[in-house]
Structure formats: structure tokens, C-alpha cells
Amino acid sequence: MSDLLLVRHGQAMSHATDEAGYDRLSELGHVQAGWLGAHLRGAGHRFDRVVTGTLTRQQETARAMGLEITDIDPRLDELSYFALAGAMQTEHGIPAPRDATEFAMHLPQVITYWATGRLSGCPEPYDAFAARVTAAIDALTALSGRSLVVTSGGVIGMAIRHTLGLDEPNMAKIMLQILNSSMHRLHHVHGTLMLGGFNATPHLDAPDRAHARTFV
């Protein structure tokens, strides 16, 4: 049996307007990651490998957790949301969201347009994103032991879609619920990939840490 713990990176620079500006942790993101690392150490968790994508916010999260990165896999990089949002506006006149409420409506639209081939001005086709993420998950779950993977919300959403056989609208709903620094567990048992846990944040559950339960 293999055990895969997926961690979404801590809060990034949420007011950024492009990928480069977004791709680093906020001060709170560093705190979230530090609390998560302390929780895992306190609970006695040990991992055979620690894997991230190539993104700065993913690697900063792993290091703020007090972990040594053993492998970097670009298949775990996030979808290009800013490019997709730009294509939505240019090609369909749908503006980028201005707040969290608008984002909750915008993301499912983006995923639907992208998945059905209605966005041409984006760096990666939907099928290519799906294929690379599922290939990375399958490769990790084929390994024995325990893997900790620090990645991003879209990757985790796609991993859960792959595990549960979700359609794209329901995958988008999953993505909207994924908290910064949350944990998601996959098990590969008897040849079957199973979801063992979703969106766990025990390190943020204390009342005085309610402010740290962030989605963006």
C-alpha cells in the first residue's frame, strides 16, 4: 500500500494580477506552513519522500514546514489561471473576478470553457493538464511508503477528479473548497486509488487561528 499526502501551498500574494507576482508566499502563508509542519512533527509523521512542483510558492511552503525537498516534478505545477482568465476576457468578454464572490462564479466558467476547447489563447490545453497531473499521481502512488507532495489547488482538484471520477463542474466545486495549507490523503490499496481525507486543517482549527483559514 502507498500513502500520498497532498498539501496545498500556503497563502500566496493574493492581490497579484499575474502569475509572477502571485508566485511567492505571503507573510501569513509562511505562518500557515510553519504551523502545519509543527503539527506533522508533533503527531510523529514521517515521510519517505517530499515532492513539490517547480513553483516558488510550493517550494517555500515545504521549506517553511521544515522539510527537505527530495524531488521536484514540474507535472505538479498549477494550471495557468491568469492566462486562462485573460483568454476568457479576450475571447468571450467575460471579465476577471474582482473579489472572492466573483471568483467563485468565475472559476467553474473557466474550467468549463477550457475543458470544452473554447479557449485558444492559453499556454496549456486542458487535456494536457489532466494528463500530466494524473501521470504524476499514478507515478507517486506506484511507489511504496509515504509521500508528502506540496502542490496547488488545481492539481489537487484534478487528483481528486482522477480518484473519484468526477466531471469538470464538480471538480471546480472541489477546487473552490481547498484551503491554503490544507491536507488531502490518497491511498493506493489492492490496485485501487482511494480518497482517504479531504481539506484537513488541524493546525488551523484553534479559535485564535480562524483568521488563517484562507482560500486565496
Report the CATH number at residue 180. 3.40.50.1240
Q: Is residue 158 part of a domain?
A: yes
119 and 138 together in one domain: no
For residues 141 and 87, membership in a common domain is answered with no
99 with 181, same domain: the answer is: no
d(CA 137, CA 133): 6
Q: Examine residue 213 and state whether it is found in any structural domain, yes or no.
A: yes
pLDDT in single tens digits along all 216 residues of the chain:
689 999 999 999 988 888 899 999 999 999 999 999 999 999 999 999 999 999 999 999 999 999 999 999 999 999 999 999 999 999 999 999 988 899 999 999 999 999 999 999 899 999 999 999 999 999 999 999 999 999 999 999 999 999 999 999 999 999 999 999 999 999 988 889 999 999 999 999 999 999 999 998
Burial of 198 from C-beta contacts in 10 A (0-12 / 13-18 / 19+): middle
Do the domain assignments include residue 57? yes
pLDDT of 88 reads 96
pLDDT of residue 164: 97
Are 186 and 143 in the same domain? yes
Does residue 151 sit in the same domain as residue 209? Answer: yes
**Residue 68: predicted pLDDT:** 97
**Helices (H) and strands (E) in the chain — how many of each?**
8, 6
Dihedrals phi, psi of 156, to nearest 5 degrees? -65, -40
Listed in sequence order, the residues at least 6 apart from 10 whose beta carbon sits closer than 8 Å to its beta carbon are 25, 26, 28, 29, 30, 31, 32, 33, 36, 57, 60, 61, 64, 180, 181
- Say how many C-beta atoms besides its own lie within 10 A of residue 105's C-beta: 11
| Residues 55 and 153 placed together within one structural domain of the fold | yes
Question: Are residues 140 and 117 part of one domain?
Answer: no
| Beta-sheet pairing, 183-189 with 2-8 | antiparallel
| Residues in Cβ contact with 111 at an 8 Å cutoff, skipping those fewer than 6 apart | 126, 168, 169, 171, 172, 175
Nearest to 198, CA basis, from 145, 141, 144, 159: 159
- Considering the domain architecture, whether residues 150 and 112 belong to the same structural domain is answered as no
Q: How high is the pLDDT of residue 166?
A: 96
Q: Does any domain span residue 15?
A: no
- Domain with 88, as residue range(s), is 80-123
Number of domains in the chain: 2
Q: Are residues 94 and 168 in the same domain?
A: no
* 143 and 62 co-located in one domain: yes
Q: In this predicted structure, what is the pLDDT of residue 15?
A: 82
pLDDT of amino acid 148:
98
Query: E-assigned strands of 58-203?
Result: 71-72, 145-151, 183-189, 192-200
For residue 71, being part of any structural domain is answered with no
In this structure, the answer to whether residues 62 and 116 fall within a common structural domain is no
In a domain, 19, yes or no: no
Q: Which of helix, strand or coil describes residue 177? A: helix
pTM of the model: 0.96
Q: Does 164 share its domain with 209? A: yes
The answer to the question of residue 159 being in a domain is: yes
3-state secondary structure of 175: helix
The answer to whether residue 31 is domain-embedded is no
